[in-house]
Amino acid sequence: TDVGDILIAMNPFQPLPLYGREVSRQYRHHETGTLPPHIFAVASRAYHAMVGRRGGRPQSQCVVI
């Protein structure tokens, strides 16, 4: 089977500049592979695949939080 994208998150117990508006803007319309992996990119790919905006039919998605 194909697992697809996997995201592992951790709580570093300190603020990190990973989720601000600037980072959100960078990942909003980026091409795959042009920026480092990020939760915004994983979520965007899952959403667009689910609704069929990636050039194909809608596909079932699974998100484990």
pLDDT in tens, 46-61: 777 778 776 677 777 6
Residue 40 has pLDDT above 60, yes or no: yes
Q: Rounded distance, CA 38 to CA 50, Å?
A: 19
> Which residue has better confidence, 63 or 40?
40
**Taking Cα atoms as reference points, which of 4, 41, 3, 5 lies closest to residue 24?**
41
pTM: 0.53
Cα end-to-end distance, the chain, whole Å: 21
The two tokens of residue 3 are 């697992």
- The encoded tokens of residue 5 equal 């994208």
Rounded to whole angstroms, the Cα distance separating 9 from 54 reads 25
pLDDT digits (tens, 9 = 90+) for 2-20: 667 776 777 778 777 778 8
